């Protein structure tokens, strides 16, 4: 069994705080991971980065990085950077969020969220694999974007 520390409630505000003593105690006790969240306040990546900088063995994750908030390429680039800087301790958590956040906060239609999530994850995986130039033809994403002539 793996234990994770969810720091979800404190990350929802515009003034997120994480109790470092609790996080360090969890690390000392052998917890597997600590997770930062995002909604209408601070983003999850900033919290995960801060946690990684203040720990040495604890994996840090996003619970969740909202899909409407950033492009798949942006999420992949963030994951690559944070994983490298944390010594391989980053765990990427993605999710579709909900219509209130997607449409009301990010201005992105909450249209076919399961389809969007599948496409997003497929694109992130292609980027992380680095096997070929990025090409994707889906309902929500067409990469590269072809402009009519």
Report if residue 120 sits inside a domain.
yes
Report if residue 39 sits inside a domain.
yes
- pLDDT at position 12 is 53
Report if residue 146 sits inside a domain.
no
Total domain count, the chain: 1
Report if residue 148 sits inside a domain.
no
Report if residue 122 sits inside a domain.
yes
Q: Please, are residues 63 and 99 in contact by the beta-carbon 8 Å criterion? A: no
- pLDDT at position 40 is 74
pLDDT, one tens digit for every residue, the chain (149 residues): 999 999 865 545 666 678 899 999 999 999 999 999 887 778 899 999 999 999 999 999 999 999 999 999 999 999 999 999 999 999 999 999 999 999 999 999 999 999 999 999 999 999 999 999 999 999 999 999 988 77
Query: What is the rounded distance in angstroms from the CA atom of residue 135 to the CA atom of residue 54?
Result: 38
**pTM (2 d.p.):** 0.91
Report if residue 140 sits inside a domain.
no
- pLDDT at position 8 is 64
User: Which segments of 1-149 are extended strands (E)?
Assistant: 4-7, 33-36, 59-62, 65-66, 90-91, 94-95, 136-137, 142-143
Query: At 72, which CATH number?
Result: 3.20.20.30
Report if residue 145 sits inside a domain.
no
Host domain of residue 43 = 4-134
Report if residue 46 sits inside a domain.
yes
- pLDDT at position 41 is 77
């Amino acid at each position: 069994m793996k234990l994770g520390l969810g720091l979800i409630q404190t990350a929802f505000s515009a003034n997120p705080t994480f109790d470092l003593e609790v996080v360090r105690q969890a690390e000392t006790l052998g917890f597997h991971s600590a997770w930062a969240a995002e909604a209408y306040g601070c983003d999850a990546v900033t919290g995960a980065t801060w946690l990684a900088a203040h720990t040495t063995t604890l994996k840090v994750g996003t619970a969740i990085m909202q899909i409407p908030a950033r492009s798949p390429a942006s999420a992949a680039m963030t994951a690559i950077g944070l994983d490298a800087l944390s010594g391989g301790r980053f765990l990427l958590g993605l999710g579709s969020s909900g219509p209130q956040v997607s449409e009301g906060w990010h201005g992105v239609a909450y249209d076919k969220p399961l389809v969007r999530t599948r496409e997003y994850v497929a694109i992130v995986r292609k980027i992380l694999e680095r096997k070929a130039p990025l090409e994707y033809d889906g309902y929500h994403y067409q990469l590269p974007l072809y402009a009519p002539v």
